[in-house]
Each structure stands twice: as structure tokens, then as C-alpha cells.
Amino acid sequence: MADPTAPETPHPFDLVLERTISAPAETLYRCYTEPVLVCQWFCPKPWKVTEAKLDVRPGGASYHRMEGPDGEVNHIHGQYLDVAPGRRIVGTDAYVGDWVPSGNPPFMTSIITFRDLGNGTTLYRAVARHWSEEAMKGHEAMGFHEGWGKAADQLEELAKSLPPEPVRVRPANPGDAHEVVPHLVCKGAAEAIAFYKQAFDAEEMIRLPGPDGRLAHASVKINTGMVMLVDEFPDMEVKSPETLGGTAVTLHLAVTDAQGVFDKAVAAGAKPLMPVARQFWGDLYGMVEDPFGHKWSIAIPGENAPRTSEALQDAMMAAAPGR
């Protein structure tokens, strides 16, 4: 069943253009979000975009100045509602930036999606979602399919002409706690899950035991972030800190009560490594080691912390032993 709250879910007032374009999704996203590129394709010739101002973020304003062959000028103001770099752009003419109403009756919301199909091709989908059936039919009669189709041709031509972009690391689903995910090897992953529940209020997401009972995969949510776990399998070079003799990695928790979380972790079986204290960079910060050999720092971010590299350097030197 389709999610009725998802912008991609079809609506009766939609007009849709969909095609496969021979260009990477990242390149198409650039063509939509870089003003110098937008001006080269965004409306069907002989019309052209002569100016574009784009604050590409949810709540950011968009502006396109469009000029016709006979001197016509249209000023198109709007606002971005949702931006997922390389994947999706949702905008509307109901607002003109920072949620300020446009003052005119809204016409439509645009939902642009790019789905990477591999081999340098992208499924490009452009949806015009209208505020009424009348507006939708009027847009169709104006030549939606021809106009947006020509623009898509121009988009593809431009995208294919651009040099390849360096690969960029972007979150697949921004805000879903999967941006950077630690994957912990534990000698006793099931026991580790129980510890994290007790020490850090972890929420279990999934566990997949293998035939011998060891966990081939598990994940929990801690402090809104996902942490994956697995039992150690030394014969497959999947070894825990206990087997390796320690870890060089520290997992960091930014919380509202550092001392309380520190004490809770210790009560659950963690070993104190550094008592909670104010540090030179401003955080109220302490460290523990869990019973499975993983280190955790626990901190309240400093409100009046040094903000520049120079100020941090001075604070570090002032805090150095012997000063």
C-alpha cells in the first residue's frame, strides 16, 4: 500500500512526465540546482531562463526569470519543500521562501525524482501536482506534456555534455539515522544488546541468529542513531575487541545529562575510563568501556565552547599539563 504522506504517491491532480535519461542522477541534480546550468535548459526554447537564484534547502527560496522570444518576461518565485541531494527536489509556488505565503493563489507543487538505474542512466520523473482539477486541466491544455518534454530533452542534452563529476558521498535517506553507522563485533552480541538496552536505553531493531545461535546481524537504535552488531566469527576474520586486545575506536554520545548516562552505564557493567568533567573544548565529557571492549564517550556539548581553531588551540595549550 502506498504511503499517502510520501510526495511520490500519485494524486488525481498530477500531470506526470517520466523517462530514462542517459546521464547519472547526480548530474541531473546539478542541472536542477546550479544556476549557471539551470539557465541553459530549464524552459523549452525559444523561451529561456536569464536569471536563477536558488537557495536549495527546505524552506529556501527559488527564483527564475524567464524571457520569451518577443520580449515577454515572467518572474517565477517559489520555495523548496524537500531536498534529498541526488534523489529528490520538491518545490511549490505557494510560498516564496522561509514559509512566507506568495500572496497569489497557488498553482502547483513540483516533485522531481532521480532514480539511479546504473550504467550512467537515470529514471527521471517530473510531477506537477495541482491545487485543483481545474488547474490541472488548464496546465494540460497549455501544453504540459510538450513543454516539459522539450525541457527534458534539453536537460538530457546538457547533462550528457557535462564532464563526469567526482563521486560524492551523500546520505541515501537524509535524517533517517543511517548517515554513518558503526558496526560492532561483540563476543556475545545478544548479551551486548541487553547491555545497551540497560545502559543506553537502546531500542532493538532486528536480530538474525544463525544456525549455531550466534547473531549474524543485529541492529539497535541508541540516542536516535543506528548501531549494527554481529557476533565474532574469528575464522572469517570478524573479531571482537576482546580477541584483538582492544579497540582504536570510540563511539560518541551527545546527550542532555552526561553524568547521569555515565553513571547508568557504569551501573550496568561498563568500566569508567575518564570521569565526567569540563574539557578545554567546552564539553562536559567522560568515557567508559563496555563489557565487550567498545569505548564510549558521553558528553553534553559546550554552550560557550571556543569556536575558532585559534581559540581551541589556545584553550588546549592552557589546559596542557605543566602549564
- Gap between the Cα atoms of 257 and 11, Å rounded: 46
- Residue 203 reports pLDDT greater than 80: yes
Residue 245 has pLDDT above 70, yes or no: yes
Pairwise pLDDT comparison (262 vs 321), residue with the higher score: 262
Q: 174: exposed, middle or buried (C-beta count within 10 Å: 0-12, 13-18, 19+)?
A: middle
List all residues 6 or more positions away from 97 whose beta carbon is below 8 Å from its beta carbon.
Answer: 55, 59, 60, 61, 62, 77, 79
Q: How confident is the model at residue 178 (pLDDT cuts 50, 70, 90)?
A: low
Q: Which pLDDT belongs to residue 322?
A: 66
Give the Cβ contact number of residue 84 at 10 Å.
17
Tell me the per-residue pLDDT of 60-81, one tens digit each, with 9 for 90 and over: 999 999 999 999 999 999 999 9
Which pLDDT band, with edges at 50, 70 and 90, does 146 fall under? very high
**What confidence score (pLDDT) does residue 314 get?**
82
Q: Helix crossing, 144-161 with 133-142: angle to 10°?
A: 70
| Cβ-Cβ contacts under 8 Å for 267 (sequence gap 6 or more) | 199
Domains belonging to the chain, first-starting first, are 14-161 (3.30.530.20), 183-319 (3.10.180.10)
Indicate the SS3 state at residue 231: strand
C-alpha 290: how far from chain center:
30
**What percent of the chain has a predicted confidence (pLDDT) above 90?**
79
pLDDT band of 3, cuts 50, 70, 90: low
Q: Is the pLDDT of residue 1 over 60?
A: no
pTM (2 d.p.): 0.64
User: CA 57, CA 174: separation in Å to the nearest integer?
Assistant: 12
Of the listed ranges 52-56, 228-232, 238-242, 306-310, the least confidently predicted one is: 306-310
- Residue 45 makes CB contacts below 8 A (sequence gap 6+) with 150, 154
pLDDT tens by residue, 75-120: 999 999 999 888 999 999 999 999 999 999 999 999 999 998 988 8
Q: What are phi and psi of 39, to 5 degrees?
A: -65, -15
Q: Does residue 272 register a pLDDT over 70?
A: yes
Residue 9 scores a pLDDT above 90: no
Q: Which of 23-37, 175-189, 202-216, 253-267 has the lowest mean pLDDT?
A: 175-189
**pLDDT interval class at 185 (50, 70, 90):** very high
Higher pLDDT pick, 200 / 178: 200
- What CA–CA distance (Å, rounded) separates 138 from 108? 12
* 146 vs 305: CA distance, rounded Å: 57
pLDDT of residue 171: 67
